[in-house]
Chain A
């Protein structure tokens, strides 16, 4: 009996350690060649968690992407070791969440360069370069906060749109204007429209679960369990919750191991 876990963030690692410590076979794959997921590979608590999981027998295939799940057969993965099908009975998808797209947010108007998902923006901003001076950040939740902090660190002057402190209240973007790059957004706020000039739009609103493995897209996919809690959930809770769900699915007769994680030291 093999379980494959897609994603090596706190959720994936928490599930992996729980399953492996019950003596069951588990393989963790991640499309990035390092563990850590959203927490990042430098997070010591993630490194410790991965080491504990490995110590009780969890296996890892890093830099490998889950491509296609066939219930009763297994998972097609593509990675440095090649493209291959790994036999497995369970797929625990712990692939995190992503911001909603322009289409999902029903934003109209032009489709210029400079409209980017928060996940892309964060990745690009990691270079430390200020790509934008006056960006708009849509979404006032956890993800919007995270990207706004990174923008502030590179000296960008961001306008927040969405509910939350320091933002433009209960507002949504109606329309994007500009070509070839974005120049402004038309914002609707309680029935009033106004323009906000900007040189980028960062989409960090209404996040939803990532679903990108063929055969593991819909909620009712056979053999698949999705563990994709809110981005804002504290690491300790994410680890505990995913351990509970994983054991419940894979080995309900087994006890859930005691959960502890060493918090990151600054």
Chain B
């Protein structure tokens, strides 16, 4: 324990690298993964105790095929990323399904908006088709009979955004990236063409800084003496619907974007559940993840106008995530003041653009003089680890690991083998939430009532903590700290 702690406290001290990535969300880890496969030396610093701890934690898991502005860099990066998902997710052992999405119109006003949205989508390069209500119901029989028209976006997919982030982080780690979790950047000094980051884990020197800090991006820019970025948290509240209902959904169901209302979507997840939401509430406190029963009631009511058979007793969980809203919807560019600072932040399309953001950022750095040759020996894939719930031949799994014979989370059918795998991955889970991010355990209808004690024992063993000190979230303990 003591040795572990000392290592954690000082392990950055004196390190010298070519690039420091600040932020362990989906964008930061994607950038680190890409850079780590070159000869550049890379470090990743994350303030939270685990990866995917900020905006990425609340991501709804839609890998979109378009997002607003056809001429934007964001669109270009999404277009470069979108065709790659099947290959990339197979290589990174990340669940992905290209379900396609339906944006449905129920009223005349909504139907009137569809042609404009269709034109936008097509201009962005996304496959999109205008359908009648009957055609839409053929693709997704669960949508409302009131649907009069719809746009089918066939290249939309659902992805596990947490497994994606974990995979990027693992690739980065396997390729030698120094990863410092629970590490806060407190000051940044520039000296010649290098910068020194003073952190809670010691001082690290670097040629380039990547600001992928999401909600904390403005603060990192301020510390670096860069542009005054304007950004604030935008809360999205969600309800999670049981797989028993959600497994019948075939499509992502979007409400028609209207200028004056905030519509909810119904999004199947790769776990088999579905998300209802999100809201878009501009708030001030980055760490405010509170849910409101009144607001969620309204969101749920709206969702039933899209999928009328939804019932409240199928809701197994509610939560809120905060995405980084800003005056600029996305930033994938150098700072205007500090020459070695690159901003890589996006409000909503981080997951969808992440594969290409890694590539784009590397190119920006190369153009600015970073010597980064692609390495032949770089790790580019992760060994697929089977999951009891989705295995085609579960009977054979026990030969691989007897832990598959011990189901820990029965609702989500997660075995001890999968939990131990999460606890021993290159960037390992260190909390019950970390195990949930990587396996889905405790995510089901009983929300851990039947398994959280067992999981806390397993997590306690792996992190050398007891029932009191074992962490439920990256910073919150099960018992009152002694």
Indicate whether B202 reaches chain A with its CB closer than 8 angstroms.
Answer: no
Indicate whether A106 reaches chain B with its CB closer than 8 angstroms.
Answer: yes
Checking A78, A98, A127 against B404 with a beta-carbon cut-off of 8 angstroms, the contacting residue is A78
Decide if B473 touches A67 in the complex (CB within 8 Å). Answer: no
**Whole-angstrom distance from the CB of B121 to the nearest CB of chain A?**
34
Indicate whether B397 reaches chain A with its CB closer than 8 angstroms.
Answer: yes
Bound-complex Cα distance A255 to B452 (A): 42
| A contact residues around B450 at 8 Å (CB) | 98, 119, 210, 212
Interface string of B263-306 (1 = CB under 8 A from A): 00000000000000000000000010111110010000000000
Interface string of A27-52 (1 = CB under 8 A from B): 00001000000000000000000000
Decide if B244 touches A85 in the complex (CB within 8 Å). Answer: no
Checking A103, A179, A200, A213 against B318 with a beta-carbon cut-off of 8 angstroms, the contacting residue is A103
**Whole-angstrom distance from the CB of A123 to the nearest CB of chain B?**
4
Bound-complex Cα distance A67 to B407 (A): 8
Bound-complex Cα distance A68 to B413 (A): 9
Decide if B453 touches A124 in the complex (CB within 8 Å). Answer: yes
Bound-complex Cα distance A107 to B289 (A): 14
Closest residue of chain A to B451 (Cβ to Cβ) is A120
Decide if B397 touches A83 in the complex (CB within 8 Å). Answer: yes
For chain B, the bracket of interface size reads 35 or more
**Whole-angstrom distance from the CB of B414 to the nearest CB of chain A?**
11
Indicate whether A84 reaches chain B with its CB closer than 8 angstroms.
Answer: yes
Interface string of A199-229 (1 = CB under 8 A from B): 1100100000011111001100000000000
Given contacts A67-B407, A101-B316, contact A123 B453 (CB under 8 A): yes
Decide if B480 touches A124 in the complex (CB within 8 Å). Answer: no
| B contact residues around A218 at 8 Å (CB) | 244
Bound-complex Cα distance A180 to B398 (A): 38
Decide if A103 touches B316 in the complex (CB within 8 Å). Answer: yes
CB-contacts of B301-354 with A (<8 A): 313, 315-319
**Whole-angstrom distance from the CB of B291 to the nearest CB of chain A?**
5
**Whole-angstrom distance from the CB of B444 to the nearest CB of chain A?**
7
**Whole-angstrom distance from the CB of B295 to the nearest CB of chain A?**
9
Complex interface: stretch among A8-16, A110-118, A189-197: A110-118
Interface string of B389-409 (1 = CB under 8 A from A): 000001101100010111100
Decide if B388 touches A83 in the complex (CB within 8 Å). Answer: yes
Indicate whether B471 reaches chain A with its CB closer than 8 angstroms.
Answer: yes
Given contacts A31-B410, A109-B290, A179-B287, contact A132 B449 (CB under 8 A): no
| B contact residues around A131 at 8 Å (CB) | 467-468, 478-480
Indicate whether A181 reaches chain B with its CB closer than 8 angstroms.
Answer: yes
Indicate whether A99 reaches chain B with its CB closer than 8 angstroms.
Answer: yes
Decide if B478 touches A114 in the complex (CB within 8 Å). Answer: yes
Decide if A180 touches B290 in the complex (CB within 8 Å). Answer: no
Decide if A200 touches B480 in the complex (CB within 8 Å). Answer: yes
Decide if B478 touches A179 in the complex (CB within 8 Å). Answer: no
Which of the listed residues B292, B296, B444, B450 has the most CB atoms from chain A within 10 Å of its own CB?
B450
| B contact residues around A118 at 8 Å (CB) | 449
| A contact residues around B388 at 8 Å (CB) | 67, 78, 83
| A contact residues around B471 at 8 Å (CB) | 113
**Whole-angstrom distance from the CB of A234 to the nearest CB of chain B?**
24
Checking B290, B445, B476, B477 against A108 with a beta-carbon cut-off of 8 angstroms, the contacting residue is B290
| B contact residues around A66 at 8 Å (CB) | 410
Decide if B405 touches A83 in the complex (CB within 8 Å). Answer: yes
Decide if A129 touches B467 in the complex (CB within 8 Å). Answer: yes
Closest residue of chain B to A203 (Cβ to Cβ) is B449
Decide if A180 touches B475 in the complex (CB within 8 Å). Answer: yes
Bound-complex Cα distance A217 to B446 (A): 12
Indicate whether B435 reaches chain A with its CB closer than 8 angstroms.
Answer: no
Decide if B406 touches A63 in the complex (CB within 8 Å). Answer: yes
Bound-complex Cα distance A139 to B444 (A): 22
| A contact residues around B141 at 8 Å (CB) | none
Closest residue of chain A to B242 (Cβ to Cβ) is A217
Given contacts A65-B410, A111-B291, contact A101 B447 (CB under 8 A): yes
Indicate whether B472 reaches chain A with its CB closer than 8 angstroms.
Answer: yes
Decide if A181 touches B467 in the complex (CB within 8 Å). Answer: no
Indicate whether B456 reaches chain A with its CB closer than 8 angstroms.
Answer: yes
Decide if A103 touches B315 in the complex (CB within 8 Å). Answer: yes
CB-contacts of B401-447 with A (<8 A): 402, 404-407, 410-411, 413, 415, 444-447
A-B contact pairs, 29 of them (CB 8 A): A31-B407, A63-B406, A78-B388, A79-B405, A80-B402, A80-B405, A82-B395, A82-B398, A101-B447, A103-B317, A104-B315, A104-B316, A108-B292, A110-B289, A112-B473, A113-B471, A114-B477, A116-B452, A119-B453, A131-B479, A131-B480, A174-B293, A180-B473, A181-B476, A212-B410, A212-B444, A212-B446, A214-B413, A217-B244
**Further 6 A-B residue pairs, CB within 8 A, beyond A68-B413, A114-B480:** A66-B410, A101-B447, A108-B290, A111-B291, A112-B476, A218-B244
Interface of A with B (CB < 8 Å)?
Answer: 31, 63, 65-68, 76, 78-85, 98-99, 101-104, 106-114, 116-120, 123-124, 127, 129, 131-133, 174-175, 179-181, 199-200, 203, 210-214, 217-218
Closest 3 CB pairs of A and B: A113-B476, A131-B479, A180-B476
